[in-house]
Structure 1
């Protein structure tokens, strides 16, 4: 009978592959056997904590089963779970990915004290008043009036951009990088691109240079830019 838990070495450490077709009883039994053998093999050396990646294939493990798996590891002082991955995703995660990859057209007023959070890319046609905040998970294309705070790549993605004229904004942010616009002393127009450069600081360019600024995004939109 094939083991329901198999150890595999990777360039990043160790991975335990759980048979997606086996029942849980066999998986847990095989896992304990594997960990017992590893414990015996490392007993004569100076044991160090090993964190394993757990791979479950096309089987999605619910929280209760994940908890039981982690309980098994808690019986071994030098072993722990780094992460559990599979080739399937939950309905919630699927919806989040679809939302993140879509472009939202936003034409609304964000007033002082209001915060608006949106996943995916945003084409912004509205107004962000001073004291208002717009947080976007993807890129932001600004055709409206921004007087408050605007952030692309929220909360921490530095490969996103803000494209457009935001010279009236209080602050612009990309990921965790930010600048107060009044301190920039830069001329902006609808073709301005704000991005994070290789030094992890905000930088500024023109939309006609997008191929050099962000080649991946340039290719995604078909490589055609009208300046």
Structure 2
């Protein structure tokens, strides 16, 4: 019968696979034995620190059980946990992913001093006053009036875009890159695409060139534009 905790070598280091059908207490016992044996085998005048990836298969471990794993490793001076992964996700994470992949229609007024945060892509139909901020984790399609700050790719996703007329905006941001539009003489209209180029600076193009600007996004929408 296979031990509930098994060591596997990978190209990136070491992984410990926990049997998702075994009892949790049996896994803890097996993990102790495994680490004891490894400590004996790796004992030397200059022992090396090893960080392990823990894989739990189809079992989603509770915070308490994950903490118990950390406590077990704390008994071994040169062993630590790099990350704990599984093939399942929490309901909260599932909802976050679904939200991230949705296109939200936002039709509201964002006034001076207000910040509106949205997960996923946004079709913006409202108005952002000077001093207001629309902060979006995905792409932003602007059909409304933006006179404040607009950001795509919050907080640091540089593969997102702002599409539309934002010539009245105080500032545009994508990920961590930003530009104050008062300092530019760019021609911006409804067909403008703002993106981060290969030099990691904001750049401007047209919807007709979307295939060249962001091939991945172009393919996701079916490659329906000429460019």
Task: Name the TM tier (shorter chain).
Answer: over 0.9
Equivalent residue number for residue 93 of structure 1: 93
In 2: Cα distance, 1:226 partner to 1:167 partner: 24
In 1: Cα distance, 2:226 partner to 2:148 partner: 28
Superposed displacement of residue 45, structure 1: 5.2
| Maintained 8 Å contact 2:209/2:226 | no
Aligned in 2, Cα 1:132/1:41: closer, same or farther, shift over 3 Å?
same
Equivalent residue number for residue 208 of structure 1: 208
Equivalent residue number for residue 24 of structure 1: 24
In 2: Cα distance, 1:167 partner to 1:13 partner: 50
Partner-residue secondary structure (3-state), 2:223: coil
Moved more, 208-217 or 38-47: 38-47
Task: Give CA deviations for 1:45-96 in whole Å, capped at 9, x if unaligned.
Answer: 5222211111101000010100101000000111111111111011111111
Partner-residue secondary structure (3-state), 1:205: strand
Moved more, 39-48 or 82-91: 39-48
Partner-residue secondary structure (3-state), 1:163: strand
Equivalent residue number for residue 147 of structure 2: 147
Partner-residue secondary structure (3-state), 1:151: strand
Superposed displacement of residue 151, structure 1: 0.6
Equivalent residue number for residue 80 of structure 1: 80
Any stretches of 5+ residues in structure 1 without a counterpart? none
1:172 counterpart = 2:150: no
1:122 counterpart = 2:148: no
Superposed displacement of residue 184, structure 1: 2.3
Aligned in 2, Cα 1:142/1:226: closer, same or farther, shift over 3 Å?
farther
In 1: Cα distance, 2:7 partner to 2:186 partner: 56
Equivalent residue number for residue 49 of structure 2: 49
Superposed displacement of residue 185, structure 1: 1.6
Partner-residue secondary structure (3-state), 2:26: helix
Q: Alpha carbon RMSD of aligned pairs, Å?
A: 1.2
In 1: Cα distance, 2:77 partner to 2:226 partner: 60
In 1: Cα distance, 2:226 partner to 2:147 partner: 26
Superposed displacement of residue 225, structure 1: 2.2
Large movers: runs of 4+ above 2 Å: none
Superposed displacement of residue 226, structure 1: 6.8
Equivalent residue number for residue 182 of structure 1: 182
TM-score by length of 2: 0.97
